[in-house]
Amino acid sequence: MNKKPKNMKWLVIAVISFLVFVLLQVPASWLISKFYKDNQVLQNVSGNIWQGQADWRKGEMRGSIIWKTRPLDLILLRAAANIEIFSGKTQLKAIMGYGINKKVIVRDLQGQISPETLKAIINWQWPANQIQLKDVQLDFKKQQGFSSVQGELQWAGGELVYTFADRQDQMNMPSLNGQLQDVDGKLQFNIQDQRKQKMANIMLDPNMMLDVQLTQRLLMNVPSYDGKAGLDTFVVSTRKPLMQGGS
């Protein structure tokens, strides 16, 4: 009596699996042209939904992206893929997903961000050392902001030439560590030196606006600086879009 329902169950599973397989073979370039008619970000798209690559451009930044989808994540009601992103010497890889609740999911983000990429965000002459990201994860939803944030960054520092208040100056940036967490829907980078002393605080809000605060301790590395505040006091604050020219 139960044989027919069981056969129907396996038939439904087989049909769904077949449709997923067919969908994954759709050329990625066709899909983007169909649903993203004003595409100004991705060019030279090759491959299919299953796996492929493309060149990208956003503001002053450009590079390439490689993806390989993760069909089993559909069980978790989300579309996800293993992603690799390249831009000059910047190299990042992660698992990225998008859920039916319109939540962006990032897991196991690893890699390095080059000085050239940093310059596209803040137009300073950055030291030659890359920022290293390790075990970063986060969730992001436009209405709620960032949540479930974990991870860390490391930076060897070096000589930094920058412009502040229409004056060029330089700083001997020390080696820094940063812990990532979420605070009231914002992505926070809590920056410390090797002795775990407060150096800077960086906050990214859901509108992709970047707030940077620097402590007296960090600015003591500027030879011309003669401030008298407490070492943990934030003495410089700035706010700007994450990307030059807008978010």
What's the pLDDT at 245? 46
Contact indicator for 140, 117 with CB cutoff of 8 Å: no
Q: Nearest-5° angle of CA 15, CA 47, CA 14? A: 10
What's the pLDDT at 199? 96
- Residues whose CB falls within 8 Å of the CB of residue 122, separated by 6 or more in sequence, listed in order: 240
What's the pLDDT at 169? 83
Q: What's the CA gap between 171 and 125, in Å, rounded?
A: 11
What's the pLDDT at 246? 41
What are the domain boundaries of the chain?
Answer: 106-241
Question: If residue 185 lies in a helix (H) or strand (E), which one and from where to where?
Answer: none
pTM attached to this predicted model: 0.79
What's the pLDDT at 196? 94
What's the pLDDT at 76? 84
Q: What is the mean pLDDT of each run of 10 residues along the chain (247 residues)?
A: 58 61 58 60 79 85 92 84 94 94 95 91 84 97 94 93 78 94 96 95 94 94 88 91 60
Q: What's the CA gap between 165 and 150, in Å, rounded?
A: 34
CB burial string 41-73: b at 16+ within 10 A, e below: ebeebeebbbebbbebeeeebebebbbebbbeb
